[in-house]
Every structure is written in C-alpha cells, then in structure tokens.
Structure 1
C-alpha cells in the first residue's frame, strides 16, 4: 500500500497561543498532511476552527502541568504506531517528538521552544517554584523525560529552530545543529486603528511570564491604564494583587476580533517573560503599529528594535523599570514609532514562513 504524504504532530491544542496558531496554519496550508494532537481543549479550540482538517486526538488534557507533560509524552510514545503509513512526519512541540521511534521515513522537528525547558535552561527556576512535597515528582519527571527526548532528537533528519536563541540552546544542551525559520505572524489581521488611553499586556498568565511585575508597576501609576489579556494559572493571584485598582482590567481570552481591536487601539504593549524563545505577541503588536516594552533577552532581541519599535528593559525587570519605560514611551513617542513597527512586522509574515516550510516539506 502506498504511504500517505505526511502528518503533523503537536503536543496539545489547549490555548489559542502562538505555537497552536502555527500548527493550525501549517495544517491548513499543506492539506496533504494530516494532523495529530495529544489532546484538544474543545472549549478553547472549538470544532469551528478545525473545519477541513483531518485531526487525530490521542487522549484528553490533564489539568496538572507535570501530569500533562508525562501523560502527553506517554500518549505519543505508545499510541502512534500508525505513523508507519506516512512518508514524512513533522513534529511540532516538546512531547510529540518521542513518537519518532514509530517512523522510519523522513522526520522533521520544528522547535517552538528550547529543549525541555523544565529539564534544561529553566530547570532551576521550575524547581524553585515547586512546593517541597512536589520536588521528588519533579525530579522523577526529568529522569523519565530527558533520555526519551534526547533519543528522539537524535533520530530527526532535520531540526528547525524558531529563533537564533532557540538554535543556540539546542547546540549548547544537545550538540544539535539546526536551521532557523522564524514563525509566521498573520500581519494582515492586525492594523493601527487609533490610540486609546491604555497599555496592553498579552502574555499568558503564568509565573515565568512575569505579568505580576507589570501589575505591580501599574498599581504605582493610578493615572495609567493597563489591560491584561489572556488567562493562566497566575490569574487568581494577579486579580488579588490588583483588587480595588480601577486602572487595571482583566479581559480573559479574547475572540480574534476583540484582540485585533484591543491591539489596534492600545498605546503600546508590554511583554517581559523570562528568556522567551521567540514571542509572537510583540510581532502582532508591531503589525498593529504599536511599540513594545520588552526585556532585552531571548527571542525579543530578534524581533524588537530598541528605540525604533519599542524599548528594552533589563532581563530581570522590577516595577520601577516598567514605570520608567512607560513614562518614556508616551502616546506621542509611541505614535512616532508606528511606521517602523509596521515595517518590522513584515519580516515575519506568513508567506515567508510557508515558502520556507514548503521547501523543507518537499525535501
């Protein structure tokens, strides 16, 4: 029996994040490829967004981050024998690559993030976040995941990093050479629509995204308005921090049209995650003509031009660093950066991405 052209594997469709959008874009752009995910959150990624896609779901999403990682890795390891009927497998995620032992054809990995961050570059950070009684389980997760991940990477025919920052980490931790293909931004979906009276935070509400530092800063600037988009495990803590602050508003996960409007009318955006691998939000911000206050590390160094499309602050930002940057990036200064922002965003448009990925997938 002749083999089917290819299939795209991705960890799980849990949130409407950058990696999820890239995965769905690839599946739509290359209809000869099927799609397989560990699980899908049907409430966040509804059936309407999957129309026209042949998608295999291996299981359900676990609530605990540690159990989710272990469960997803086991799903891909044990339930993907069907990969043998495909010519090419494109792995897109952190846990999906362990399925490679089921496939003897052409194997390509697109890395949205650094290798197993909880086991390598952010190991100390995540370990410090664990309560004492969870630390043994955390160490057991690393002991289980690391050798399987390293064995999977060794079987890849090609590894693609989404930024030079990620490429350096694959070289440093695994001795793995990569090529770099920047992820796509659908720049045509975002546009400058005016200038409101608020600054916008777009990062997921997780501790390593450091939205708490932004909230602390705006608590000290009651005359400046902050709109926080997104959700995550840090939401209850952030709401508690901002309780009673009339200048801080939480919007949850917005619809695409709401996101476009919020970005289109903002003064500027703030994005200060710990050593971000790439960061789609700053590119979307610039596509809307809005400059970004970001940390001078990781993938942001490849997307933001300091003083032209945003302002860099220290990699370990304090509320005072945020306050100083907001005071510098006035509405007038932000408006002056509009054209440079729009121009820079075009470097990451989806046509460039799809052309390069098309070349790779036609190996």
Structure 2
C-alpha cells in the first residue's frame, strides 16, 4: 500500500463538499484501474475517489502500476490508500500484445482482491478494462459493479491490419461481453454515449448515464508560481499544448500551427510568441519516447526550435503556472472522448482553441470561452492570431471560461451525481 504525508487535497475537498459524518452507513468502494499514472482517465479516477471519500465512503484504489514519483498528489494522502499488485506482469511481449497484457494484469489484480486480500467492499468502480468484471463474481457475496466508459477500448487502436484484426477480434468480443455485465454504465460525454451504442450493438438497449468529469478546483485555487527559467525573455504570448506524448493526440498539429502563425505575423509580433509542449511522459512506454523525438525533429525541420519548449512529466505546480501564464491552450486531438485539459484551462481563465469534434463540442463554447476549429494549421493559426491582435481577448474569454466550468463541471455536481449512483447500487 502506497501512502504519504500530503493530506491537503482530500481534506480541502471535504471542506468544499461536506464531510462524511451524519451518514447512516459507510459505503465501501474499491476502484480498479490498470495504470495509475497522470493521464486524463487517471485524473477522473482520482477525482471520483476523492469525491466519494468526501461523502463518507471508505475508498481504496487498486492498480497494477503506481509510482509515487509519477502520480497525482492526492494519491499520496493517507486518506486515499493505493494498493499496487501485479506490476511484475509484463505490459507487452516484445513490444506487442499490449491489450492482452493489460487484460491479464487487471484480471490478476481482481483475483488478488477477491480471493486473497480479505478486503470487504460494497461497490467496485472500474474503468478502461472491463475484463475484470466477471471475475468480481468470485467474491463471497455478489458485488455491484459500476463501469465508467471513457471510450470503447477497441476504438483506441489506430492500426487495423489483417493480423491486428485477428488478434483484436476475441478481445473486442470479450470487451462487449464483459462491459454488459456491469450493474451500471456511465460515460464521460454525450459524444461517447453515441459511440458506445454504435460500437456495442448488443448493448444498445442498456441505459448509459453521462457523468461529465469534474475539476478538483481546490487544487487550482492555490498560490501560483511564475515561469522563471521555462521561457526565453520577452515571450509575452505563450501558447500551451498539454497532452501525453502519443500519436493519437495529433501533437504535430500544434507545431504546424505555430509555423503557420509565423507566416501571419510581423517580425516584432513573432518575437513575442512561444509554444510550450507539455506532455505526460513515461520512459517505460516506447511510443512516448519515440514520439517525443519525432516532435523535436519536426520542430527543427520547421525552424521553430527557438520558439518551442518541450516539457516532459511536468509537476502539478508547473502545470498551474503554465495555465495561469499562457495566452491560450491548443487542444489538438480529434474526436476526443471528453478531454479534461479544456476544463482545467477554462477554470484557470485560459481560453482554449480545440478541434471541432468530440468532447470539446460539449465543454468549449465557441466564440465565448475559446474557438472550435477544423484540425488544420490555417484554421488554428487564424484563431491564434486573434489573441495576438486583441490583447483583451484572453481576459474576456478567460472569465467566461471560468464561469462555464463553475456552472457545468463543478466538483460538487460531479460528487452528488456519482454518490447518487453509488447509493442506488447498494439499495
């Protein structure tokens, strides 16, 4: 069990959402998650655990991988215990079979939980990998299972060669079968709800409720440090890209956009512009390592080296500083399931330029809190130029973004909805 001494995140959320005393019965919830890193799915799991803890639930997170040096700070709190088992199992076989290994790792975690741990629990919250659901039936008493679908796993594979289809066929079939075994299914957006029904035709009649990811605002309402040392002198217009170093995030678009913006600006304007490419990076993941080098090479080929800073595995403090200091966030993925980065940016009063598809259609208000654009350098650079020519645009859109997050994506609303689902499952 990994625990630490940082208690503030959980404690502050309890102050915000109401402490647990006064509830008739403590509901015991176990979260099952494959790899507790620092991605968007992990952010939701941690927020959900903190939210339920604030409502008096007994919460544990079980995972196959957890690194206290590469995690969200909330997981270091003794109030949010993390149990890591099965990390000795491989994540791939000679760089292949990632999905199969992920399934086996999660099945191992589940079997360890229900057969050997001795833990008592009422509800299991699992996400990403549904293969663990049938094995939860091995517990002494049937436990209720809530499955949170960020996006169907089978759609996350970009390459679909003949061999890949043969390999993925049984896995995709098993994903649909096991997902349907959950007692309740939640999705992160209306967009994902539609994709879910198209992807799993046999589950089309099953009700899926939308639970938008929330923002743990207490973690953002802290004193923010400056960006000293991160940017060259005189760069007053900072554009920020935050995403994992993965090819599906379309990060090359941010560099291509910057090159297109250079052609639109005068020399004086261009000298004020800088792009920060901040991304989740895990040296265990080959794609992270390869794509980071690909992006550096692209920046060099476009002649942008002096106007781009690459930041890997940044800290929470660095992220807050970047969001507060940046002119605008560039969000480049297409058909993103939801995307927590636009929410974090808007709460930090930082406008967002995002691709006009997927989750950002529900989070970003075009022309009010940012711009929704076609995924082309021309469209993105045109929107970026507006911030260069209108110095007050950031302030106007930033304030509108803050208000939108407070109204639609507050932690309190997320907590109430999630807690309601958990209580309904236990009745």
If the length of structure 1 is used for normalisation, what is the TM-score? 0.86
Equivalent runs, 1:132-147 vs 2, <5 Å: 135=161, 138-147=164-173
- Of the structure 1 ranges 164-173 and 140-149, higher mean CA displacement relative to structure 2 is found in 140-149
Match in the other structure for 1:356:
417
What SS class does the counterpart of residue 108 from structure 1 fall into? strand
Determine whether 1:27 maps to 2:49.
yes
Pairwise CA distance, 1:105: 2.1
Distance 1:68 1:319 in 2: 33
Q: How many aligned positions are there?
A: 345
Pairwise CA distance, 1:66: 4.8
Pairwise CA distance, 1:185: 0.8
| Distance verdict in 2 for CA 1:168–1:65, change over 3 Å | farther
What SS class does the counterpart of residue 329 from structure 1 fall into? helix
| Alpha-carbon contact 1:98-1:148 (below 8 Å) kept | no
Distance 1:345 1:302 in 2: 11
Pairwise CA distance, 1:40: 2.1
What SS class does the counterpart of residue 122 from structure 2 fall into? strand
Of 249, 262, 277, the residue aligned with 1:228 is 277
- CA deviations 1:242-288 (Å, max 9, x no partner) are 12521111121211111111100111111020200100000111001
Pairwise CA distance, 1:42: 4.5
| Alpha-carbon contact 1:91-1:97 (below 8 Å) kept | no
| Alpha-carbon contact 2:332-2:354 (below 8 Å) kept | yes
- CA deviations 1:207-245 (Å, max 9, x no partner) are 111110110221344413111111435211001111252
Match in the other structure for 1:162:
188
Determine whether 1:334 maps to 2:366.
no
Match in the other structure for 2:198:
172
Distance 1:351 1:148 in 2: 35
Pairwise CA distance, 1:155: 0.9
| Alpha-carbon contact 2:110-2:135 (below 8 Å) kept | no
- Of the structure 1 ranges 141-150 and 56-65, higher mean CA displacement relative to structure 2 is found in 56-65
Match in the other structure for 1:131:
none
- CA deviations 1:307-333 (Å, max 9, x no partner) are 00001111xx22222211111233332
| Alpha-carbon contact 1:36-1:55 (below 8 Å) kept | yes
Distance 1:296 1:6 in 2: 37
| Distance verdict in 2 for CA 1:43–1:65, change over 3 Å | farther
Determine whether 1:262 maps to 2:296.
no
What SS class does the counterpart of residue 366 from structure 2 fall into? coil
Match in the other structure for 1:58:
85
Determine whether 1:271 maps to 2:303.
no
Match in the other structure for 1:107:
145
- CA deviations 1:47-79 (Å, max 9, x no partner) are 983332333323226267753322120122345
Match in the other structure for 1:88:
123
| Alpha-carbon contact 1:167-1:177 (below 8 Å) kept | no
What SS class does the counterpart of residue 80 from structure 1 fall into? helix
- Of the structure 1 ranges 41-50 and 241-250, higher mean CA displacement relative to structure 2 is found in 41-50
Distance 1:259 1:36 in 2: 26
Gaps of 5+ in 2: 1-25, 227-234, 263-269, 282-287
Distance 2:416 2:364 in 1: 23
What SS class does the counterpart of residue 393 from structure 2 fall into? helix
- CA deviations 1:134-180 (Å, max 9, x no partner) are x4553344123112211111111110111111111112222143001
Match in the other structure for 2:240:
200
Match in the other structure for 2:34:
11
Distance 1:163 1:83 in 2: 31
Match in the other structure for 1:183:
213
| Alpha-carbon contact 1:70-1:141 (below 8 Å) kept | no
Match in the other structure for 2:340:
280
Determine whether 1:77 maps to 2:100.
no
CA RMSD of aligned residues (A): 2.7
| Alpha-carbon contact 2:133-2:179 (below 8 Å) kept | no
